Structure 1
Amino acid sequence: MPVSEGVPRKKVTTSHGRYYAERLAAERRKRVTIIQLLRRRKAVWGLRTSTIRVEKKRISKGEALAILVGTQIGAGVLGLPYAASKVGLIPAMFVLFGVMLLMLWTGFIVLKFSADMNGAQMSTIAQRVLGRAGGWLMYISIFIMSFGAILAYIAGMGSVFSSLFGINESLGALIFWVLASIIVYHGLEASGKTELLMSYIMLALFITVTVMLVPHAKKSNGLYTDLSGILSITGVAIFALGCHTVIPDVYKGLGSYEETKKVLVWAFLIPTAIYAVFMAAFLLAFGRETPQIATQGLQLLYGKLGNIIGNLIPLLAITTSYIGIALAQQSNNEEFVKLKRPIAWALTVIPPAAIYFAGVKNFADVLAFAGDTGDMMAFIILPILIWVVAKLRRR
């Protein structure tokens, strides 16, 4: 007979009763342990690089495309024209489209493995194929990418604050870093919908700026070749085209491998075309004198109005990107390395600031460093390594 609520259970006195009670207790402990292990496993391998998430169980192809494009559009775009000015327009175009094709291929690799593993995230794929070392490689790659991005954003906002308010760049960078880092510590992250909305606002601003530059374009400004800056343009292009971490979420939302594959093609073609036009417009207008934060060049053409518009874009783009990437990395430090919030936060935001105030203040070159190291490892080398290892195992 079941024991009624409110009636105390009788103490087990027989050896059979004690055995039965011990078995029940052991089974309960086993279930709790399994649940804890599953939760821990989920936390350990859930590395993030973006706060954009797919919240709906089913999404349309239009929504899938918006998520992928929105993940790509960000502060990285602002460094493309300056990086292109180091090599010339034609070499920059070849690099941009070459990087796009390579990133599309590795995106297909991520999609294929994620689909085979029921929508597994990149970190889980790396762990299952490459072992625990794969998980650590993914963490280190994302850590380096985040470090470089945060450093570049601090440098960029120092320049923006200096242009807008006429203060010293280092002071402007310090003000921005303190305010943005406080937000990161408290975890006040925007929702995925908010980030996507901001991305499309910035996209509209990019198009507006491009139209403003067309009357000032001259072919002679961009028609030169200097391959000494090829590594820089490659790194910034990789940084600007990374959207691999949301591919598994998009696949689960669409529920179809073939449909996701088609959307993925457009998700790389559309931003690349926009980047190409944006990059060409600045290079043809400013040539080798293109500023590190491209839009700041508008002040030379449109005076005070150009200064406001030219700094409004990086103000929005860099602020949202800083908060998003820093929050993601802080979460990785808490969940993967099991650090407490204050230590995870300090490890995320203090080292890049220290490097900046030590004298590393070049926005575009630091973006190139992040792209050539962390992004290249996470979005190109690791997916290819996973593909090769899996193929060798099948043989």
Structure 2
Amino acid sequence: MPISGDIEKKKITTAHGRYYLLRISAQRRKKIFIIQNVRRIKGIRTTPIKIEKAHITKKEALAILIGTQIGAGVLGLPYAASKVGLILAIGVLLGVTLLMMGTALIVLQFSAKMKGAQMSTMSQVILGRTGGILMYISISLMSFGALLAYISGMGSVISSLLKINETLGALLFWVLASIIVYKGIEASGKTELILSYIMLALFILVTIMLLPYVKLENGLYFESSGILSILGVSIFALGSHTIIPDIYKSLGSYKETKRVVILGFVIPATIYATFMSTFLLTFGKDTPQIATQGLEELYGKIGWIVGNLIPLLAITTSYIGISLAQQSNTIEFLKLKKPLAWSLTVIPPALVYFAGVKNFADVLAFAGDTGDLMAFIVLPILMWIVSKIKKIR
């Protein structure tokens, strides 16, 4: 595809004609650059992806990762734990933490090799078109379940705060939050850092408030019938893999990002275990679906305020963050315009909620047992296995 000499060969003398041919030549050079820079990275065929470093600090990156995890999942863990007992719940949470941390590091490894590729893209590169589609569907299913749970949870919270019908509260939340999503407002690293400090302070406060009421016998029982519930909610609560490529691109260092990812699982898991245990040992099998709302029984008005402030912050930020991520994912992968991508993101879960599916904890378990399980555990492990086979060959 010859480029040099194009203008001379055409013998164009007018300024407009020379300008047109210069543009054609530039486009050809761009095509050649893309074709020539297709490369193989340890057996994985990929195209170059530009890294745009956002210059956030490691503390801000850690806050973003922790903020992505600590949302509605932590509020549903005590209720899920009440179905199995304390010992089995802690065992499942520990096992899921180690597994999810391992697959998160796999995602980081592949994203770094592909210069910051997103999960659907890396899945398509390694597993083919089918793998990319399967990853997109899994993440979409996870997002759908999460948003449905958030609408359900906030319906209960707003109903308690404003003394209105739960369905009306859910509608009010959905309208306001979805408008924010459409406008594309995203929290910066500094904002996430501040919110993380506030959330951490609130969790410590709640733990201190519950300690006088803790009774060991409330959690010392064993029931296996709720194993899928605690498993699903634990997977959901620790699912933050989709944000890892963005953190890597922002920090620009694999080693720094790896440290952030490890801490980003250890810290939330510790908070989850403490939060879950104190609520279960306080309320036992009567633990409410949104755990913090049980504080009102113990502390009246103060407990009511704290018990609704935590889910208000956690669920609202999680709804906006996951909706924005899924909206962008749909725009990029399906090549859709923003209004349609927004509609596909926020409308289906609202329709299902208003049709009558309103069980907060069970929806979290469903999302964890389906979309999160496939996107954050099965497919990353499959990508790792396939890449090893390609490397050996």
Equivalent in the alignment of 2:11: 17
Residue pairs, 1:196-345, within 5 angstroms? 196-252=193-249, 256-345=253-342
Q: Which region of structure 1 is more displaced relative to structure 2, 148-157 or 117-126?
A: 117-126
How far 1:82 moved relative to its partner?
0.7
How far 1:35 moved relative to its partner?
9.1
Taking the aligned partners of 1:331 and 1:341, their CA distance within structure 2 comes to 8
Equivalent in the alignment of 2:164: 167
Any conservation in 1 of the 2:112–2:254 contact (CA below 8 Å)?
Answer: yes
The amino acid across from 1:28 in the alignment is A
Question: 3-state SS of the aligned residue for 2:11?
Answer: helix
Taking the aligned partners of 1:287 and 1:145, their CA distance within structure 2 comes to 29
Question: 3-state SS of the aligned residue for 1:228?
Answer: coil
Residue 176 of structure 1 pairs with residue 173 of structure 2? yes
Residue 148 of structure 1 pairs with residue 145 of structure 2? yes
Q: 1:357 to 1:16 in 2, by over 3 A?
A: closer
Any conservation in 2 of the 1:87–1:228 contact (CA below 8 Å)?
Answer: yes
Any conservation in 2 of the 1:54–1:250 contact (CA below 8 Å)?
Answer: no
How far 1:90 moved relative to its partner?
0.5
Question: 3-state SS of the aligned residue for 1:359?
Answer: coil
Q: 1:32 to 1:377 in 2, by over 3 A?
A: same
In structure 1, the gaps of 5 or more residues are: 1-11, 38-44, 46-52
Any conservation in 1 of the 2:61–2:189 contact (CA below 8 Å)?
Answer: no
For 1:229-252, what per-residue CA distance to the aligned partner results, in whole angstroms no more than 9, with x for missing partners? 111111111111122233334445
Taking the aligned partners of 2:217 and 2:281, their CA distance within structure 1 comes to 7
Equivalent in the alignment of 1:4: none
Taking the aligned partners of 2:145 and 2:180, their CA distance within structure 1 comes to 19
Q: 1:232 to 1:55 in 2, by over 3 A?
A: same
Equivalent in the alignment of 1:394: 391
Taking the aligned partners of 1:162 and 1:214, their CA distance within structure 2 comes to 28
Residue 66 of structure 1 pairs with residue 60 of structure 2? no
Taking the aligned partners of 1:318 and 1:35, their CA distance within structure 2 comes to 45
Taking the aligned partners of 2:115 and 2:10, their CA distance within structure 1 comes to 45
TM-score of the superposition, structure 1-length normalised?
0.85
Taking the aligned partners of 2:344 and 2:206, their CA distance within structure 1 comes to 37
Work out which of the residue numbers 25, 37, 48 in structure 2 matches 1:27. 25
Any conservation in 2 of the 1:298–1:306 contact (CA below 8 Å)?
Answer: yes
Residue 55 of structure 1 pairs with residue 54 of structure 2? yes
Query: What value does the CA root-mean-square deviation take over the aligned residues?
Result: 2.8
How far 1:103 moved relative to its partner?
0.7
Q: 1:111 to 1:212 in 2, by over 3 A?
A: same
Q: 1:344 to 1:305 in 2, by over 3 A?
A: same
Q: 1:140 to 1:54 in 2, by over 3 A?
A: farther
How far 1:157 moved relative to its partner?
0.8
Percent same amino acid at aligned positions?
68
Taking the aligned partners of 2:389 and 2:34, their CA distance within structure 1 comes to 34
Q: Which region of structure 1 is more displaced relative to structure 2, 69-78 or 86-95?
A: 69-78
Taking the aligned partners of 1:78 and 1:371, their CA distance within structure 2 comes to 14
Q: Which region of structure 1 is more displaced relative to structure 2, 182-191 or 349-358?
A: 182-191
How far 1:68 moved relative to its partner?
2.8
Taking the aligned partners of 1:235 and 1:54, their CA distance within structure 2 comes to 34
Q: 1:241 to 1:131 in 2, by over 3 A?
A: same
TM-score of the superposition, structure 2-length normalised?
0.85
